[in-house]
Amino acid sequence: MPSSACEAIAPLFRRLGLALAVYVALAWLPWALSEYHLHVLVTSFYYVVLAIGWNLLAGYTGQFSLAHHTFAGVGAYTSALLILHTKVPIVVGVAAGVAVAALLGWGLGTLCLRMRAIYLALATWAFAESVRLLTTDHLTREQRDASTLFLEGAGWGFGGSVDVDPVNPWNVPGRYGWVGGTGTAAHVVPSNRAATILLTQVAMTGPTPTPLMREFWRYAAA
């Protein structure tokens, strides 16, 4: 093998060896640390990964993105919900979270990476901020009280309802989603990592949810 090729491969093997040594050094920590210290260590590594991902984009390519935390949240919810509700192995859940976050990142990147400098930053910030606004109640107490017939314990984000008061068993503060007049409903409950989807195609005949919807939500909250 030419000496130039050996010189190019040698750093790669050194990095792989260093990564393997670090892995071996950290693999025993779950059995040696308390639950609290392990939690702090895992959280620290999580932010290290976020920093590495941001540096990969900003440090190496010069692109300035403000949506990394949103992609991390999407991946975390995907893996957690799969593991919790389908009992898939953790490795499968993590892989699914990576895939969904990557797909979302590819879609946003296709639209935004033709932008440069502050325009890319503004576009990715707008995406991350939109996710926050969709899941935040923007009504005052007076507005909610005047709309009790329609809201029933919920407030309103940008495009969907956000539960505020536990009026019914299924009204968990922070639960957000949508109820469609054609008999469809979808909600996410961040506090217990649950998601509910109802597809009936039976149109609503009034401003309040149908008995079937209520029974479905009551069953899901049990």
pLDDT score, position 155 = 67
pTM: 0.47
Residue 17 counted as domain residue: no
Structure tokens at 81: 């919900």
Residue for token digits 């401003």?
207
Domain range for 50: 33-134
Domain count, the chain: 2
pLDDT score, position 104 = 83
Mean pLDDT computed over every residue of the chain:
77
- Which secondary-structure segment (H or E) carries 123? helix 118-134
Residue 14 counted as domain residue: no
Residue 175 counted as domain residue: yes
Angle, alpha carbons 145-150-156 (nearest 5°): 75
Dihedral sign (CA 48, 53, 58, 64): negative
Residue 58 counted as domain residue: yes
The residues that bridge with 184 in the sheet, in sequence order, are 199
pLDDT digits (tens, 9 = 90+) for 24-46: 888 888 888 888 788 888 888 88
pLDDT digits (tens, 9 = 90+) for 79-136: 888 887 888 888 888 899 889 888 888 877 777 666 666 666 667 677 777 767 766 7
Residue 21 counted as domain residue: no
pLDDT score, position 172 = 80
Question: Quick one: 105 and 77 in the same domain?
Answer: yes
Question: Quick one: 74 and 158 in the same domain?
Answer: no
Domain boundary among 114, 134, 154: 134
Domain boundary among 82, 115, 134: 134
What is the arithmetic mean of pLDDT over 60-86?
Answer: 78
pLDDT digits (tens, 9 = 90+) for 127-149: 777 767 766 776 777 776 766 65
Domain boundary among 134, 155, 173: 134
Question: Quick one: 197 and 182 in the same domain?
Answer: yes
